Structure formats: structure tokens, C-alpha cells
A and B are shown apart, each in its own frame.
Chain A
Amino acid sequence: MGNILMNKANKRGSIVNYIRKGPLHLIILVICALWFLPTFGLLVSSFRPPNLIMTTGWWKSFKTPFTFTLANYKNVLTAGNMARSFFNSLIIAIPSTVMPIMIAAFAAYAFSWMKFPGRDALFLVLIGLLVVPIQMTLIPVLRLFNRLHLTGTFLGIWLAHTAYGLPFAVYLLRNFIGELPGSLFESAFLDGANHFDIFFRLVLPTSMPAISSLATFQFLWVWNDLLVALIYLGGTPRVAPMTVTISNLVNSYGGGWELLTAAAFISMFLPIVLFFSLQRYFVRGILAGSIKG
């Protein structure tokens, strides 16, 4: 009864409501503008000629005559190491996303649907590993890599990212796979399926929502990572991802804004596209993993 009355009142007063809500809309608008402004400034600047970037503010570029150019992008992709780094980032990020998810799915399957001694204890160890700072592992792993000649190789950084991503991946997938109905498996076993079939035909396909969240998360994490790449790739330009190359550019050029803005935007392009197309999965991953540090 109360609800019906209120709905009626809402409809009648919708214009009044709208005006009354004015301050609310204004506050939200201002906050959004503030949050967007820094990125927008970078984007606009990356299309301005160097001499203008250095002498006038980016907001002045909306006055005629418009002087926008693609030269900065051309320069940073050819002169700098940026094109190479873009591909390096991809070469690093794709396996570093696929590997932990598959390996974690194996483990999560065993954790949820097989019984073995020490299962719960092992899982608690895994929960503990969720928040271990990576700093705690850098020195021993680097020494190991040096001995095995894995420093500065893609294989080395794939393995490192895979291992660092595992605790979260196993945790998230176990929560999901553990919730799948047991009857699903029982009938398949009765039909003579083995664990390999069940895993690839049943578990993986039904876990796709969780896997998509995880993949978005892990891909962005690796793509945006600086520390792990700095340490294990040792600043070798041949294999450096974009984050490392750009941070070198920041330190050496200081003021070369035309290159920096273009480079930064190239590195942001893929994550932003991914983010807007897969936002749902990204958010779900964050919610599921809010235990992680």
C-alpha cells in the first residue's frame, strides 16, 4: 500500500523531484569531470605539436585554428622502442594470463571435487599466500633465474607472473567450481567419462563466467605491471614491456611531453578498450576477490 502511494507521488512530482535533486546531479557531474580531466588532458596533448605542448595549456587547443597532428604517435612508434615494447607487452601478457588460469583450474577442480589428505591445510596455505608482498620473493627468484639463464627471457617472466597470479586464481576458481552441482559430474561418470573429459567438457565450459573475470583481471594486472618486469627482465630493451620503456622515457627525457603523452596513451588504449567491453567481468572479479591485497 505504502509503495503504491509513493510511486504515485513520485510520478506526479517527477519534475519537482528533478529540480530538488539538482545539487545531487551537480555534485556527481563535478566529480566525474574532475576524474576524467587528467586523462582527457593527456589525450588532447598527445595530438598537439611539440612546440605548442611546451608553450600553451592543452585547453587552448580548442580555439581556432586547430593544430592537431599524428606526428607524435609516428615518432614514438618509430624512433622510440615503443612499437617493439607494445608487442613485448602482448607476448608477456597473453601466456601470463592463459597459464595461471589453466593451472589454477586444474588445482581448483582437485580442491573442490577430489578428496585427499591435507586438502584443507593446503588451501589455507594458499589463502595465506594471497597477500604475501612480491618484494619478499624478488631476490631468491632473481638468483635462481640468473643461475638458470632465465633473466631477460619471456619464459622466465611467464613463469613468474603465472606463479604470482596463482593464489588468487585458485581461490576464485575453487569458490566457483565448488558451487557447481555434483549431479552434473555423477551422471557423466556413469556414462563412462574420465576426469580429463569432465574437466574439459563440463568444468571449463560451465566456469566461463569466473574464467572471464579472472582473465580480464590477470591480463590487466600483467599488462600494467612494472615491478616484476623491471626485476626479471633486467631492463633489456629487446624484451621490455611498455611500462618499463615508458618509465625509462620519463626518467631520461624529463620534459619530452609530446613523446610521453603519446606513449602513455598507446599503453592505455588496450586496457581501456578491454575495460569498457568487459566491465561486467572486471567488476565481478573485483567483487569476488576483495579478499586479495
Chain B
Amino acid sequence: MYMRIVALMLAAIVGVPLVLVAYSYLVEKLISRIRPNIQKRLRPWFWIIPAFLLLLIFLIYPVVNTFILSFKNADSSKFVGIKNYIYVFTNHTMLIAMRNNLLWLIIFTSFTVTLGLLIAVLTDRVKYESVAKAFIFMPMAISFVAAGVIWKFMYEYRPKGTPQIGTLNAVLTGLIPGFKPKAWLFDPSINNFALIMVGIWMWTGFCMVILSAGLKGIPDSILEAARIDGAGEWRIFWRIIIPLMKSTITVVATTMVINVLKVFDIVYVMTNGNLNTEVIANRMYKEMFSFRNFGRASAIATILLIAITPVMLINIKRFGQKSG
């Protein structure tokens, strides 16, 4: 078994780059034999073809195909009109999933952006800024699966009277006399918030990094001038920092919104969407894998794409302006 692993690793580390280098070498050798003016027209295509072939097969064609499949039945054998979309917007679990995504959208986005900004502004004033930021940022490096395990352990529940092994219940029962330990992931009135908390823990660092860079971009002279004019820190924050960072905040918030729409791993690992914690992306996975209903799964995916389309158009427009 280990021989095979070593062989695969070698193939992966040495073989793959070698194939790619060989490709570009051969292309350049072949193309240099053609007449120069044709050469010039042909060459760019050889350099972008590997990328665009992959994008065509794995992204462009599937997007079109999924859109068509969303109007077909479970095994894609015949067209059913908008039946799948009617299902998506009337089915009870789907409606709960959409409600939860909305809950995620509001709570997750506002907390990650606000906390990120707060921490960026606070750490900007101390010497150990980079160390402090590393603590907040570290969860970005680990997987949602590992984060799921970490927080499942945080939320672990033992009945009242027995020693709590979950940190959250232990702290709360210790601090608040008479506090009844909660089954954070099983109680439908709080489990969505418990999941969103994990997301906030993971993504606040991301917001902080971008907002912190934006903050550093504000010229010191402006802040200094305001201070000399007698403006307090609070006033400077609301009247100068926030307005100047508006576009950065918008970018960060947009990224968080996209994250929310696609949120999957946390829910899959921690509750698998049970007990009213379903989200759209997990539902899509279930329709696809557990129920083998490709029509419905495609309709759900299409809804996700439509929800993200405005962001896509804004990006395209923004970039078109920049280069044009």
C-alpha cells in the first residue's frame, strides 16, 4: 500500500509539472515552424487553451446543463416545466432552508463585518497588533470540518447536575446561578444561532484583514488634523473612518453574503440540517445524493446562482470600467 502512495506522490509532485512544461515546450517548438504572421495569431490560443478547456468542461457547460436539468424530472428523462421550482418554493423543508439562509444572511454578515471592523480599529492602536490579529485570523486556516468538531465539543451537553464537559455550558452554569445547561445543537430555538456562531468565529478574521488594510489606507494626516481640531475618537470613527471605508466595507459584506448563500460544511458536519437547521446548499446535496432527484437538485442550484447573479454583474461592470 505504501509503495503505491509513494508512487502517487511522485507522480503528483514531479509528473504533473513535467507534463505542463513539456506541453508549452512542444507548442512553442511546433508553432515556431509556421509563418511568423500566422504564428502571432495562433500563439495566444495555445497558451490559454488548457485553462479554457477546463473552464468549459467544469464550469461553463455544467452551468448551462444544470439550468436545463432544472426543468426535467428526477432522472432527467423528460421535461416537467417549472414543477421543480414550484417544489422549491412550496416544500416545507425548503422554506425552512430559505428562512435559515436569511437568518444566516442577517446575523452572520452583520456580526462578521462589525466585529472585523471593531477588531481592526482596536488592534490598530496597540503595538502587538499582528500577534492579536493572528489569533482572530487563525480559524481561517482550518477546515469547516475541524471547526465543526471544535464547536461540537464546545456545545457538548450533559444533563443538569452532572459535570459539564462542554466549555459553553460549563462557563454559563458556573457564572449564572441556576442556569439550566442547554443542548445548543438540538434545541430548535437556538441551534441555528449556535451554527451561525461557528461561521462568525471562522470568518471574522477574513473581514478584519481586509478592513484593517483599508484602515491603513486612510492617510494619518486626515486623522491627525481631526484630532487637532478637537474631534473625539468616537466622532472620528463615525465621521471619518466609516465614510472613507465605505467601499471596502461593501466589498467585505458582499463576500460574506456570497459565503452565506453557499454555506454547507458547517451544517453538514454539525447537524446535517436536522431539527430545523437546514440550509439551501445542504438541501441541494441531499436532493442529489440521498434522494437522487437531479431535477430538484438542479433547481435549487439554479436558485443559488440567481441569488448570486447581481454580485457577478457588479464585478463584471466594475472590472470592465477598470480596464476600459
Contact = CB atoms under 8 A, between A and B. Distances in A.
Interface stretch (A68-76, A180-188, A207-215, A218-226): A218-226
Interface string A112-126: 001110011011111
A166 B209 contact: no
A236 to B, nearest CB: 14
Contact of B305 (A116, A132, A163, A170): A132
Interface in A125-184: 125-141, 144, 154, 158-160, 162-164, 166-167, 170
Interface in A230-260: 230-231, 242-243, 246-247, 250-251, 257, 260
B193 to A, nearest CB: 16
A163 B60 CA distance: 11
Given A91-B8, A128-B315, A250-B152, A24 B308 contact: no
Nearest to A2: B228
Interface string A100-111: 001110110111
Contact of A124 (B144, B165, B319): B319
Contact of B58 (A53, A163, A196, A293): A163
A242 B146 CA distance: 10
Interface residues of B, number: 109
Interface in B257-294: 258-259, 261-262, 264-265, 268-269, 272, 281, 284-285, 288-289, 294
B259 A136 contact: no
B209 A287 contact: yes
A49 interface: no
B47 A133 contact: no
A254 to B, nearest CB: 10
A19 interface: no
B8 to A, nearest CB: 5
A283 interface: yes
Nearest to B154: A38
A45 B166 CA distance: 11
A21 B134 CA distance: 21
A114 B45 CA distance: 10
Contacts of A243: 143, 145
Given A2-B228, A257-B153, A293-B258, A106 B252 contact: no
A139 B69 contact: yes
A158 B12 CA distance: 10
A87 B66 CA distance: 33
A77 interface: no
A35 to B, nearest CB: 5
B145 A247 contact: yes
A91 B12 contact: yes
B317 to A, nearest CB: 9
Contact of B136 (A35, A140, A250): A35
B274 to A, nearest CB: 11
A31 interface: yes
Contacts of B125: 21, 24
A223 to B, nearest CB: 7
Chain B contact residues: over half helix, strand or loop, or mixed? helix
A32 B136 contact: yes
A50 to B, nearest CB: 12
Interface of A is mostly: helix
A42, A84, A170 pick with most chain B CB within 10 angstroms: A42
Interface in A75-93: 84, 87, 90-91
B51 A166 contact: yes
B231 interface: no
Contacts of B17: 98, 102
Given A35-B136, A35-B139, A136-B304, A103 B50 contact: yes
Contacts of A276: 134
Nearest to A53: B165
A146 to B, nearest CB: 12
Interface string A56-70: 111100000000000
Given A126-B55, A196-B24, A196-B28, A133 B320 contact: no
B222 interface: no
Contacts of A132: 59, 63, 305, 308, 312
Contacts of B80: none
Interface string B20-59: 1100110010001000000001011101101110110111
26 contacts: A3-B224, A24-B126, A31-B136, A32-B132, A54-B165, A55-B165, A56-B163, A94-B12, A114-B43, A127-B319, A135-B301, A136-B301, A137-B63, A162-B54, A226-B268, A227-B264, A231-B288, A250-B149, A260-B152, A265-B146, A267-B142, A286-B209, A291-B319, A293-B255, A293-B258, A293-B259
Interface of A: 2-3, 6, 21, 24-25, 27-28, 31-32, 35-39, 41-42, 45, 53-59, 84, 87, 90-91, 94-95, 98-99, 102-104, 106-107, 109-111, 114-116, 119-120, 122-141, 144, 154, 158-160, 162-164, 166-167, 170, 194-196, 199-200, 220, 223-227, 230-231, 242-243, 246-247, 250-251, 257, 260-261, 263-265, 267-268, 271-272, 274-276, 279, 282-283, 286-287, 290-293
